[in-house]
Structure 1
Amino acid sequence: MEIDNPPSSDKAKETDDNFAIVLELSEDDPHFDKKKKLLQNKGFNPKEQVYLKSSSGPDWISTTLKVMLQIARLIQLDEVELYFGEDDACSSVEYYSPRNEVEALNSILSLLDISLSSGLCMQMNVLQELREAIIGMIRDFGEKNSVKTTILENHSCDKEECLLQWGENNGIRTRLQIAYVEGAGRGTIARENLNVGDIAVEIPVSTVISEELIRESNMFHILENIDGISSETMLLLWSMKERHNCNSKFKIYFNTLPEEFNTGLSFGIQAIMALDGATLLDEIVQAKQHLQTQYDSLFPTLCNDHPDIFPREVYTWEQFLWACELWYSNSMQVMFPDGKLRTCLIPIAGFLNHSIYPHILHYGKVDPATNSLKFCLSRPCSEGEQCFLSYGNFSSSHLLTFYGFLPQGDNPYDVIPMAQTLRLNRKIVQRVTPD
């Protein structure tokens, strides 16, 4: 999974007579020029000021939020949305994508909260009305796109309950429970009604599996001398062995992991042959070839040279593939206070499933004040509802290959490369053209 960047910088500005909310496109945005042009085509500036009145009515609130939302949507466009948004520069768009809409609404909410917390604005009542209206828009958008949660009561969650207890004993705080959900396998369910900004899960860094653990292990002094080996590969090899360590601090976590992940990397020959001509086939074949090459570069050499640390029965191709699937499907990118981005396994949080309508958008940055990861809600989640996050802006083929599932609904990131389209067209022509 990828770490989300924080929203673009929005500001508030006060003069003697007026208070303005400033929605600003950051010059550090990698797509600054394209977004600037798109904003200007819509009649906005890259630094747009929205002035507040000393009093307001329903029509003014609605009109003002409509303008702010138009600007925020454009500021929050990602690369794919921007590509298609450029062709739609002069038309009215309801919203670009679920992710974009929730991001845009939350960026406005964040700006309003900053203005309210300052306590300097004379139009506090107007800010509060705007805030309540934005919260209502976020709630309505979530309700329109909510997914029915059906819990399968006939599945035992004893191992998962043990993990939750382990988490509580180690400082993890969660307002979620783990359950088997129809059509999704295991997922996280809200124990109570959660609102925008609530922390669904808080994970102390001490319970996160990161590269610090490999540095403390007896295999680090061997692995660090291998040219080009990454910390992610080291962790992968560490987890293969730690999985079988009865004294591991993370034994309860490893006990909850499946024997098989069933991602695209585990597809058999028949399944792969059935994908002939599909984009997914190329992705799976390339990924498996890369992993096989990586495995062959390490084994059996490590087993031969250090059999006490790398026993053959543990470091088989099958277990290597299992560990690869574990890290591909469950790891998260975490930004630590030292500014380094590390790939980690995060117990309990790893049970949060992906959705194109996520409740949690921004996660993966350690709060230095608490030395913990906080998973805050960007839209409400009702008691008994499955709580989702976003794994990233991935195509369905990528999600199937590396995570083992297809997302529900229309995935806005399902883009077919032009080369693939031309290849498919040639096959169609060959089939319909007589000899």
Structure 2
Amino acid sequence: MEDMEVGDIAMEIPASIIISEDLVYKSDMYQVLEKIDGMSSETMSLLWSMKERHNCNSQFKMYFDTLPENFNTGLSFGVEAIMALDGTLLFEEIMQAKEHLRVQYDELFPALSKGHPDIFPPELYTWEQFLWACELWYSNSMKIMFADGNLKTCLIPVAGFLNHSLHPHIVHYGKIDSTTNSLKFRLSRPCSVGEQCCLSYGNFSGSHLITFYGFLPQGDNPYDVIPLDFEVDQVDTMMECPLSNWTTHMVRGTWLSENQNIFYYGLPSPLLDCLRSARSQMPFTKTLIKANMEVDKVLEDLQSTFNAMMENLSDVDSVDRESSSWDVKLASQFKEMQRRIVSSILTSCSTGIKLVEHELSKCKAEE
């Protein structure tokens, strides 16, 4: 064992053991699946893995044997965990994902099993088995560019067990080396002896990682946001009639902002500009004059919005984490993270309001 430096190969996987859609094309189920309108290669691979998992003679038997009986992603959340997420973005994300998968399953089964029971044995293609396969592919698959230039969604034995990190060692991967016909995972930053070598699953929010991977990363994730929808009234200058447009802004924890000063407050500038334009038709300039201070009372509106949001995020302290199930614990962690973001926004609003009041009093004193 030794320290690894930038550029070193942490792992190398032969292309011959990578599970891709090519295996489906060689199977007896392909002739059935290719005739179904809208059937994607990813869904074909998923259905193939449901059967191959139980094939005692499979060349991938060792790989399938290492996989867990339950992946414990957000797609497997029980009723209690789902209800604990009420009022959060994750609640909607999980419900929509589960509904989508259920519709997809019902479109395929039991029709395929009835029409081709030898290819799609009903005992291997239950809803539970389908959900397991979905979680497998969501949480373990990678997009791989092969030597022929084709990009395919694949399962990579061994590499699929590498964990995600907000500060990964491996960032650039996913292309087969045509010389060695292997997939190489090179380091983008050093990794010391005894340190866990991590890669990046992508720039995902905590809600996405819980739903499809089953964990919430440690540390401050810059992709964790609170979505805020506003209806902005505008005027059609040609018809001289009001228009109504919805605009969405993503607000991060304000501890990630480098500018907490007047006119910025640690909040997204596009959001503040949107609120300012809705409050005043006059062009806004970041100068310390009374008119601008009056406009920046939009912070009070924003504070009111997030106060209501905080009330909807019930206190997580009431959850008994010692006796709670894994999904309730994970739901509580997510809700706590959301409360932390909202709390930081409220703090920034409160601090900003005091800044505005201070500058406004100075402006009035100079009149």
TM range (shorter): 0.5 to 0.7
Query: Whole-Å Cα distance in 1 between the matches of residues 122 and 158 of structure 2?
Result: 31
Alignment of 1:273-288 (within 5 A): 273-288=83-98
Q: Are the equivalent residues in 1 in contact too, given 2:87–2:312 (CA < 8 A)?
A: no
Identity %: 71
2:167 paired with 1:357: yes
Q: C-alpha deviations, 1:74-130, integer Å up to 9, x for none?
A: xxxxxxxxxxxxxxxxxxxxxxxxxxxxxxxxxxxxxxxxxxxxxxxxxxxxxxxxx
Provide the residue aligned with 1:340 in structure 2: 150
Provide the residue aligned with 1:251 in structure 2: 61
Q: Which amino acid aligns with 2:181?
A: N
2:41 paired with 1:234: no
2:129 paired with 1:319: yes
SS at structure 1 position matched to 2:75: helix
**1:284 to 1:389, Cα distance in 2 relative to 1, 3 A:** same
Q: Are the equivalent residues in 2 in contact too, given 1:359–1:379 (CA < 8 A)?
A: yes
Alignment of 1:163-202 (within 5 A): 191-202=1-12
SS at structure 1 position matched to 2:183: strand
Which structure 2 segments of 5+ residues have no match?
230-247, 252-301, 314-367
**1:411 to 1:382, Cα distance in 2 relative to 1, 3 A:** same
2:211 paired with 1:401: yes
Residue 415 of structure 1, aligned match among 225, 245, 248: 225
Alignment of 1:95-174 (within 5 A): none
Normalized against structure 2, the TM-score is what?
Answer: 0.63
Provide the residue aligned with 1:372 in structure 2: 182
Shift of 1:371: 1.4
2:117 paired with 1:307: yes
Shift of 1:430: 9.1
Q: Which amino acid aligns with 1:250?
A: F
**1:428 to 1:390, Cα distance in 2 relative to 1, 3 A:** closer
Query: Whole-Å Cα distance in 2 between the matches of residues 294 and 373 of structure 1?
Result: 32
Q: C-alpha deviations, 1:284-313, integer Å up to 9, x for none?
A: 001001000000000000000000110111
Q: Are the equivalent residues in 2 in contact too, given 1:277–1:424 (CA < 8 A)?
A: no
Shift of 1:336: 1.3
RMSD: 1.9
Query: Whole-Å Cα distance in 1 between the matches of residues 175 and 182 of structure 2?
Result: 8
**1:261 to 1:424, Cα distance in 2 relative to 1, 3 A:** farther
Query: Whole-Å Cα distance in 2 between the matches of residues 390 and 286 of structure 1?
Result: 25
Bigger Cα displacement from structure 2, 284-293 vs 335-344: 335-344
SS at structure 2 position matched to 1:333: strand
Shift of 1:415: 1.7
Shift of 1:417: 1.4
Query: Whole-Å Cα distance in 1 between the matches of residues 79 and 54 of structure 2?
Result: 30
Provide the residue aligned with 1:143 in structure 2: none
SS at structure 1 position matched to 2:119: coil
2:54 paired with 1:216: no
Q: Are the equivalent residues in 2 in contact too, given 1:356–1:390 (CA < 8 A)?
A: yes
Q: Are the equivalent residues in 2 in contact too, given 1:353–1:388 (CA < 8 A)?
A: yes
Query: Whole-Å Cα distance in 2 between the matches of residues 330 and 429 of structure 1?
Result: 37
Alignment of 1:75-86 (within 5 A): none
Query: Whole-Å Cα distance in 2 between the matches of residues 197 and 378 of structure 1?
Result: 6
Query: Whole-Å Cα distance in 2 between the matches of residues 425 and 235 of structure 1?
Result: 46
Which structure 1 segments of 5+ residues have no match?
1-190
SS at structure 2 position matched to 1:389: coil
Query: Whole-Å Cα distance in 2 between the matches of residues 377 and 370 of structure 1?
Result: 18
Shift of 1:338: 2.1
Alignment of 1:260-299 (within 5 A): 260-299=70-109
Query: Whole-Å Cα distance in 1 between the matches of residues 89 and 169 of structure 2?
Result: 30
**1:256 to 1:428, Cα distance in 2 relative to 1, 3 A:** closer
Shift of 1:392: 0.1
